[in-house]
Structure 1
Amino acid sequence: MDAKAAVVREEGGSFEIEDVQLEDPRPDEVLVRVVGAGVCHTDMTVRDQLYPTPLPVVLGHEGSGVVEAVGENVTRVEPGDNVVMSFDYDGTCEQCRDGHPAYCESFFEHNFGGSRPTDETSPISQDGESISGRFFGQSSFATHAIATERNVVPVGDDVPLELLGPLGCGIQTGAGGVINTLDPQAGSSIAVFGAGSVGLSAVMAADVKGCTDIIAVDLQEGRLDKALELGATDVVNPDDVDDVVEALDDLVGGVDYALETSGVAAVAEQATDALGQRGTLGIVGAPAMGTEASYDVNDHILTGRNIVGVAEGDSNPQQFIPDLIDLYRRGKFPFDELVTYYDFEEIEQAVADSESGETIKPVLRVSEA
């Protein structure tokens, strides 16, 4: 079928909306008409080839929409269903079988390979030229996307469908990093480094978990103000203090938990130093491949500090996304306050506003629900 998609053709290039052709869904695949698509830092990471997905490529991995067709083996959804598209996974490896698909042993191939892992084909082409697709099992910067039965999550029709796409990656990453990975105890303290959509989702999740000291660290005052609105008890702007670690220590002493969302190695080191005795740091922010951060080995031995990597909030999307929607319905997880909408044709402006910090979470309106 014919579709329109935002294609990136060169490293650091622009997102150009072009006519493309989309294959019919295979037996385990689902054709989704895209209603909304969140813009995420990872899209720009691949655009800039910090992660080596082959170009040209159709990106977009926070899509929501309506199922239009399903392959013959698909039973979980049917045409007309509202769905959120999340990351893909093989469903058969030890991590997937154990309920941790975010740590699938073939995660990279399923999400960054630009093709189906089974035969290295892409469902997207243009005049006979293959274009990398299946980005996070979807490539949702398009009017239509081919996903798999595994990575589409059925959702109800009582919440705005165009709002829900970011639950598929950024929002579940921040919230899951707190709820699933750190799992802080009520009354504990947490510092969240970076107050973008991932960090602010972590702030809201920490509030849900009952943390009594929730500190957001960011350079942008507007985002710190939003953090206070969403549950932070204190904020720190590194430009306003001599030493961030000392500022946190003055507020609460060493924190019980920290989440690093910026993807800056120096900030990760800072977050490690902010931990108290037996504190735990979750690393969420993804820098360029090969980036290293350092820590004092004996300091960690003597304090019992822990550092843990966090992919996709260690989420099982089929369970966690409905849980987050339920929290939203109850007024306990108002992630809609992070969102600014753009028309699909405004994708370049949405990307620019995301990179400048003007917008916390851009969402492209691609079609009517």
Structure 2
Amino acid sequence: MQITAALSRGPESPFTLEQVSIAPLRADEVRVRIVAAGVCHTDLVSKALLPPAPAAVFGHEGAGIVEETGSGVEGVSVGDKVLLTFRSCGQCATCAQGHRSYCASFVALNSSGARPDGTTTLSQDGEPVRSPFFGQSSFATYAVATQDNVVVVDPATDLVAAAPFACGFQTGAGAVINVLRPAADARLVVYGAGGVGMAAVMAARALGVETVVAVDLSEERRKAALAVGATAALDGRSDDLAEALAEATGGGATHAVDTTAVPAVIRAAAASLAPLGTLVLLGLGAREVTFDVMDLLNGGKTIRGCIEGDADPHSLIPQLVRWHAEGRLPVDEIIRRYAFSDINTAIADAASGSAIKPVLVFDEPTAG
């Protein structure tokens, strides 16, 4: 079957829409017609790392309609609306404990550029194309996913609005819901008001947290953070940021989320925690950060990492969909829609920060 996919041929080249062949389904696989796909920072990072050949198809926030299922697939039917999320084996120790984002096979299943046996789901003129990315490669009109990373959602779901729930919004919201678990009287600070940070803000407000402060360099993003529920939004460039944070939080954050991966920001976030406060790190970037160990010891502070919101997608994603339907997760305020053919504009806007959350919207594809 011939489909249209956005091919990446190295860090410096733009995406090009080309015809590729999609593989027949295996027993545990599902073919999905893609309706929308979010653009995530991980797509940009991965494109920047891979060589020109073989070509690759990214996209890991796919949303669409199931068109075919493999013979061994259960719980997913033709016609279902689905979101495509990350893969996990479901059998290792962390998966068995419900922490699927720390699966022992996470890298092999999501970032290897092939199925576990080395084959790909996409090819062109008989040559393999790196796929499936995150078990989907959803920058394409169709994607082959696997039962473990296909999440069936309510038939009334707006797939364009919900597509980012599959990764970016799941990461930010999950960090709050699953890791921080703040009470109503908590004082949460979110550093970086991009898509992930905004999801953290919205999730905290949906949980009833009374004090939620966003910190960002962009005035437009600070305004957007207030529009989705932040109780205060502070300029990260301010010379008196520490004092402003202390005032906005009544003495320091009990909980904090960093999405920037900037060492200076992370250090400041740790320093601004109240005693016994917790900082969760979500950003991809700098690999080394230094801290004042005495401050951590004397304050009993906790700093920990978090991948994909420490989520079981099959429970968290439907919860986020319900919250959106109930008006408790106003994601439409920060999504900007792009036609699939405008993918390079969407990527550029994501890289520059001019769009908080780009989402590609697909025309009705014609089957090959």
- Which TM-score band (shorter chain)? over 0.9
- Cα deviation for residue 129 of structure 1 reads 1.2
Query: What's the counterpart of residue 241 of structure 2?
Result: 244
Q: Secondary structure at the match of 1:147?
A: strand
Write the mapping of 1:21-40 to structure 2, written as runs, cut at 5 A: 21-40=21-40
Q: Secondary structure at the match of 1:236?
A: strand
Q: Secondary structure at the match of 2:148?
A: coil
Alignment gaps of 5+ in structure 2: none
Pick closer, same or farther for the CA change 1:53–1:16 going to 2, 3 Å: closer
Query: What's the counterpart of residue 233 of structure 2?
Result: 235
Counterpart-to-counterpart distance in 1, 2:272 and 2:101 = 27
Write the mapping of 1:109-148 to structure 2, written as runs, cut at 5 A: 109-117=108-116, 119-148=117-146
Corresponding residue pairs, total: 364
Counterpart-to-counterpart distance in 2, 1:84 and 1:320 = 12
Contact 2:11 2:51 survives alignment (8 Å): no
Query: What's the counterpart of residue 333 of structure 1?
Result: 329
Instruction: Please give the per-residue CA displacement for 1:132-153, whole angstroms capped at 9, x wherever unaligned.
Output: 1111110000011010000001
Query: What's the counterpart of residue 75 of structure 2?
Result: 76
Counterpart-to-counterpart distance in 2, 1:230 and 1:307 = 26
Contact 2:10 2:51 survives alignment (8 Å): no
Write the mapping of 1:86-125 to structure 2, written as runs, cut at 5 A: 86-117=85-116, 119-125=117-123
Instruction: Please give the per-residue CA displacement for 1:327-368, whole angstroms capped at 9, x wherever unaligned.
Output: 111111111221111110000001111122221111111134
Query: What's the counterpart of residue 348 of structure 2?
Result: 352
Alignment gaps of 5+ in structure 1: none
Letter in 2 for 1:309: G
Query: What's the counterpart of residue 266 of structure 1?
Result: 264
Q: Percent sequence identity over matched residues? A: 45
- Cα deviation for residue 52 of structure 1 reads 8.8
Q: Secondary structure at the match of 1:318?
A: helix
Instruction: Please give the per-residue CA displacement for 1:199-240, whole angstroms capped at 9, x wherever unaligned.
Output: 11111111122222111000111111111111111111123x
- Cα deviation for residue 174 of structure 1 reads 0.7
Q: For 1:184, which of 156, 177, 182 is the aligned residue?
A: 182
- Cα deviation for residue 244 of structure 1 reads 2.6
CA RMSD of aligned residues (A): 1.6
Letter in 2 for 1:215: V
Query: What's the counterpart of residue 292 of structure 1?
Result: 288
Counterpart-to-counterpart distance in 2, 1:116 and 1:368 = 27
Pick closer, same or farther for the CA change 1:60–1:33 going to 2, 3 Å: same
Query: What's the counterpart of residue 361 of structure 1?
Result: 357
Normalising by structure 2, what TM-score? 0.96
Query: What's the counterpart of residue 198 of structure 1?
Result: 196
Letter in 1 for 2:118: E
